Amino acid sequence: MAKKILQVEDMHYVYGNGKPALEGVNVEIFQGEKIAVMGSNGSGKSTFFLNINGVLLPEQGKIIYSGITVDKKNIKELRKNIGIVFQDADNQIIASTVMAEVGFGPMNLKLPKAEVHKRVEEAMEYMNITEFRDRPPHYLSGGEKKRVSIADIIAMKPEIIIFDEPTAALDPLNATMLEGVLKSLEAEGKTILLSTHDVDFAYRWAERILVFCHGKIIADGTPVDIFNNREVLKQANLKQPAMLEIYELLLEKNILNGNANKTYPRHVKDLRKLLEGLNS
Amino acid sequence: MVKNVILSVIFLVALILILLKERKYCLRKCRANNHQHGASHKHGEWISIDFYSYASQIRGWNPVFKVSFAVALVILCIVLDNPYVSLIVIIAMAYLTIVRGGLAAREYLSVLMIPAAFIIISIFTIVIDISKEPAGHFNLHMGFFYIFTFKAKLEQGLLLMLKVFAAVSALQMMTLSTPSSEIIYVLRRSHIPKLIVELMNMIYRFIFILLDVSAKMKNSALSRHGYCDLKTSWHTFGRIAGNMLVISLKKANAYYDAMEARCYDGELVFFEEYKKIDKKLVISSVGFLIFLSIFPWITI
C-alpha cells in the first residue's frame, strides 16, 4: 500500500462575495497517484487546488500533509511540497527573463545560490527551454510559455504537482509534449493531480478520477467505474470517452465477447490487440 | 570658433535631412504593413527598442560595465563641453551599436530620432528671444514683436545640441544593447531602494501583459464596428479603458495567488546569472575614456 501523502477532511471554503465554493470535501491522496479532477466550470476544482496549496485558507476543515496537520505556522511546508501549474501561463510568469522566472520559486525557498543555479539548469533542460534562457516572456509562444510555467514548478521539486487544465489552449503537438512530461514525472514517483475537461485524455491517462459538482466530490474511483456510472456522468455534465463507448458498442453487437477479466482498453493499441486476438 | 559653427551646422542639416527621410520611410512602412495585415496592432517605437536590445550582439557584455561606461561618457561630455569630444562620442556610439551590435543603421537612426525632435525644439527656445524692439545680430519682425538672437547665442545653442546628442547616443548605446531586466539588475546592484527595483520589474512585465490585453479588446471592438464614427470611437475607448482597470485588478489577484503558490513571502528576488567581464573590453574602454578626457588639451 502506498504512503498516504495528503488527507483533506471536511473542507469548506466561501468566497468573499458569500458564494460557497467548497462544501465539505473529503479526500485521501496517496504517493505516486495519477489523479484526474473533473467537473464543470465553477464546480470548485481550482478553489480546491488553491486550498490544498495553502494559498487560500479553508473556512473549516483539516489538511493533513504527510501525517502533520497543517495550520498557519507550517503552511509554508504545504506550498513548498505542492506546486501548481496554473491554467494561464500569462497569469503565472512574473519575471522578465525565462531564467529568472524558473529561479523565482527556488529563490523563495531560500536555497543557496549554487543550488538554485543547478535546479534552474535542470528544470530548463527538462522542459527543453534552455535556448530561451535570456528571453523575455513576451517573446515566447503559447506552448513555450506553458513549458516555462511547468519548469517553474519542477525547479521547486515538490512532492505533488497540480496541473490546472493544462491541455486547454495547447495545440496537438504541445499536448503530446505535455503527456510526455507527465509520463516522465510519473516515472520519478511524483504525485500528480490534473484537472481537465477532456474525457478521452482523463480516461487514457488517469489511475483515479475525482468528480467535483457544486463544491463537493460526488465520485471518486477508477476511470472505468466513473465513466460507467451514468448517474455521476449526468450530474457532472460529463460524457463517456469515445474509446469506452466504442468498446461497449463492440460488446453489444457481439463483435467482442466480454473477456473474462474485464480489461477495458485504454489506448487504440489495446483495442487493436483485443480485435486481433479475436481473429487468431 | 568659425570651425565649430560650421561643424555644428553641418550636423544640424544632416539631422534634418535624416528626419525628413525617416518620416517618409516610416509612412511607407506603415502603409505597407497595413496593406499586409489589415488590422495589425502596432506597439509603437519603444517596444522595438526592447526587441533590439534583446537581439543585439553585444548583449553578452557585462551589464554593469555597459551602464557604467555609458554613464562615464555622459559625465565626460558634460564636464569637458567640447564639440570634438561630443562628435567622437556620437561616432563611437554609432560604431558600437551598428557595427558591433549588429543593428541596422536605419533602425539606429530612427531610434535616435525620437529624442531629436525634442532636442531641436528645446535648443530653439534657448537660442531665440522675443522683444518689442529690433535687437541682436539677427532679428525677424513678427507683427507686434521681434524674435532675435546673437551670434554667440547661436553658437552656444549649436554646441549644446552636439553635447546633448552625444549624451543621448551614449545612453542609447546602453538601452539598445542591454535588456531592461539587466538594467534593473544593475540598479539593484547599485543599492537603489528595493521598492523601486521591484516596481520596475513588475511594471516592465505588466506593460506587455496590459498591451496584449488592450490589443485584444481593441480587435474585438473593431470587429464589432466599435470605431465606425468619432462618437462611437470615443465611447469604445472609454469602455476599453474601464475594462482595462477591472482586468488589471483581476490579473493582479491571479498573479498574487500564483506567486504565493511559489512561496512568495513579501520579497521579490529573482535569480540572475553573473556575466563575465571581458578584461580587454574594460581596458580599451578605459583607454577611450582617458583619450577623451585629455583630448581638449591636445588640440589646444
Reference A226, options A216, A241, A215, A214; nearest CA is A241
Query: Does the distance separating the beta carbons of B269 and A108 come in below 8 Å?
Result: yes
Phi, psi of B295 (to 5 degrees): -55, -50
Is residue A52 classed as helix, strand or coil in its secondary structure?
helix
Query: Does the distance separating the beta carbons of A138 and B208 come in below 8 Å?
Result: yes
Q: Are residues A56 and A191 in the same domain?
A: yes
Is residue B241 classed as helix, strand or coil in its secondary structure?
helix
Q: Are residues A184 and A272 in the same domain?
A: no
Q: Are residues A178 and A258 in the same domain?
A: no
Q: Report pLDDT digits (tens) over A210-247.
A: 999 999 999 999 999 999 999 999 999 999 999 888 88
- Candidates B51, B254, B269; nearest CB to A107: B269
Residues 6+ positions from B154 with CB-CB distance below 8 Å:
B5, B127, B137, B138
Handedness of CA A108, A110, A111, A113 (dihedral sign): positive
Rounded to an integer, what distance in angstroms lies between the CA atom of residue B259 and that of residue B205?
14
Q: Please check whether residue B269 touches A, CB under 8 A.
A: yes
Domain ranges for chain B, please list them: 1-26+45-178
Which chain A residue has the Cα nearest residue B184?
A96
Asked if the model's pLDDT at residue B300 lies above 70, the reply is: no
Number of domains in chain A: 2
Q: Please check whether residue B2 touches A, CB under 8 A.
A: no
Task: Please enumerate residues of A whose Cβ is less than 8 A from a Cβ of B.
Answer: 50, 53-56, 76, 79-80, 83-84, 86, 88, 90-97, 99-109, 113, 116-117, 120, 134-139, 152-153, 156
Reference B100, options B281, B243, B268, B274; nearest CA is B281
Q: Report pLDDT digits (tens) over B150-164.
A: 888 888 888 899 999
What is the residue-averaged pLDDT of chain A?
Answer: 89
Secondary structure letter of residue A197 according to DSSP: S
Judge residue A173's burial from the number of C-beta atoms within 10 Å of its C-beta, 0-12 exposed, 13-18 middle, 19 or more buried: exposed
Which chain A residue has the Cα nearest residue B259?
A92
**Full residue range of the structural domain in which residue A269 is found:** 241-280
What pLDDT, on a 0 to 100 scale, did the predictor assign at position B265? 83
Chain A residues with CB under 8 Å of B251 CB are 91
Rounded to an integer, what distance in angstroms lies between the CA atom of residue A230 and that of residue A51?
29
From the CB of residue A214, how many other CB atoms can be counted at a distance below 10 Å?
16
Q: Are residues A78 and A204 in the same domain?
A: yes
| pLDDT band, very low/low/confident/very high, at B38 (cuts 50, 70, 90) | very low
Q: Are residues A83 and A111 in the same domain?
A: yes
Chain A residues with CB under 8 Å of B180 CB are 96, 136
Asked if the model's pLDDT at residue B52 lies above 60, the reply is: yes
Q: Are residues A54 and A139 in the same domain?
A: yes
- Candidates B181, B202, B269; nearest CB to A97: B181
- Candidates B261, B271, B272; nearest CB to A55: B261
User: Can you tell me the ipTM of this complex?
Assistant: 0.84
Asked if the model's pLDDT at residue A29 lies above 70, the reply is: yes
Only one residue has cell 538672437, namely B149
Rounded to an integer, what distance in angstroms lies between the CA atom of residue A65 and that of residue A5?
6
The pTM for the full model equals 0.81
What pLDDT, on a 0 to 100 scale, did the predictor assign at position B155? 87
- The CATH number for A103's domain is 3.40.50.300
Q: Report pLDDT digits (tens) over B252-296.
A: 889 999 998 888 888 888 888 777 888 898 999 999 999 988 888
Which chain B residue has the Cα nearest residue A94?
B205
Q: Report pLDDT digits (tens) over B176-233.
A: 999 888 898 899 889 989 889 988 888 888 888 888 888 899 999 999 988 888 999 9
Only one residue has cell 487546488, namely A49
Q: Are residues A262 and A225 in the same domain?
A: no
How far does A162 lie from chain B, in Å, by closest CA? 11
Q: Are residues A217 and A279 in the same domain?
A: no
Q: Report pLDDT digits (tens) over A110-156.
A: 999 999 999 999 999 999 999 988 888 888 998 999 999 999 999 99
- Planar angle of CA A242, A243, A248, nearest 5 degrees: 100
